[in-house]
Structure 1
């Protein structure tokens, strides 16, 4: 992908839609992806680790997929919790378009694929799942987490997957010191070189 990044707001490459068969919520699904988004040819290893090492999402309320890409996490949550409202948030307009296409393909009407600024300020979350965009840099990543994690409801969890050699342990330590009182951070799982971090709001 030349100098284009999956966190570009508007990818410059030509939109070439292509089918992708993946397993979501236990069943094979034929979805649509395209270049200019994160991991367009498969569910990436980190997301697979996250999906296989987290409990089912809460059955209702607002759920957040932060950095949703073409949607594997958001669509899984929407399939598993049909009475919840899933917010699929990304800065990449093409990724959001793909999430909308895929939600329609799956017959899901509980997915809101939006830019970060389009989530109403009064929305709080019963659960967060994220394969965060580590490569945006620490400053942007830290600002992102400090914006979204405090919007969790009481007694809820966020689950983040981070590759060990991309700084999962240092991110763990940073969150322990940077998040407001009432948050705890623990390592929930390690698999295939990834850590699943659980952020709990008491």
Structure 2
């Protein structure tokens, strides 16, 4: 459907699962994807760049993946931080279904898949990792980021990857102004037209 987007709650296209070969935290695995979600054919370049910073993932606590798609970030975090609980959040029901199926297939029991409204409101995060859905539009994107980033625990960090030509630098400036006092945003990497931004709660 021409009007369908990966951020649709219920994709209108027929569910046609397929298997693809990917590398999750250095391990070659087979996962299931389908149309109607973000990057169903491979791990997109921005996510690959973001995952090069997995060494910064906290070993425990609650870690959030905003916009999990079929699960490359959540699966990688779950492997790297087996003592952490990974919250894989998406509005797309198909994405949640696929992430849960891939976690089960890989034997990862520390991933919780849910819609944003189903995350406990009192939960804070030891880390946030996201290739955020830029194409939802600026207003919706800003609402998403201001909903989740302030829920970083004191001392915790969030990592975002954003393409430069889709507004990474203006988003960086916006975060510096709009996040609560005590939060800082810095650019930690530029690679292949992508920026990796690190948000930290220093309060």
What secondary structure, in the 3-state scheme, does the structure 1 residue paired with 2:60 have?
A: coil
Aligned to 1:80: 80
Aligned to 1:156: 156
Distance 1:24 1:56 in 2: 16
Aligned to 2:200: 200
Distance 1:51 1:76 in 2: 8
1:47 paired with 2:47, answer: yes
Aligned to 1:102: 102
1:61-120 deviations in whole A, cap 9, x for unaligned?
A: 000000111100000000111110000000000000000000000001110010000000
1:62 paired with 2:62, answer: yes
Q: Answer yes or no: is the 8 Å Cα contact 1:54–1:159 preserved in 2.
A: no
Distance 1:125 1:46 in 2: 22
What secondary structure, in the 3-state scheme, does the structure 2 residue paired with 1:87 have?
A: strand
Distance 2:200 2:60 in 1: 18
1:132 paired with 2:171, answer: no
Distance 2:79 2:140 in 1: 30
What secondary structure, in the 3-state scheme, does the structure 2 residue paired with 1:104 have?
A: helix
User: How far has the Cα of 1:41 moved from its partner?
Assistant: 0.1
Distance 1:87 1:67 in 2: 10
Q: Answer yes or no: is the 8 Å Cα contact 1:158–1:198 preserved in 2.
A: yes
Q: Answer yes or no: is the 8 Å Cα contact 1:9–1:92 preserved in 2.
A: yes
Equivalences, count: 202
User: How far has the Cα of 1:54 moved from its partner?
Assistant: 4.5
What secondary structure, in the 3-state scheme, does the structure 1 residue paired with 2:200 have?
A: strand
1:104-156 deviations in whole A, cap 9, x for unaligned?
A: 00001110010000000111100000000000011000011111001000001
> Where does structure 1 lack aligned partners over 5 or more consecutive residues?
none
User: How far has the Cα of 1:52 moved from its partner?
Assistant: 1.2
Distance 1:79 1:106 in 2: 9
User: How far has the Cα of 1:55 moved from its partner?
Assistant: 2.6
> Where does structure 2 lack aligned partners over 5 or more consecutive residues?
none
What secondary structure, in the 3-state scheme, does the structure 2 residue paired with 1:35 have?
A: coil
User: How far has the Cα of 1:2 moved from its partner?
Assistant: 2.1
| TM-score between both structures, scaled by the size of structure 1 | 0.98
| TM-score between both structures, scaled by the size of structure 2 | 0.98
1:12 paired with 2:9, answer: no
1:173 paired with 2:176, answer: no
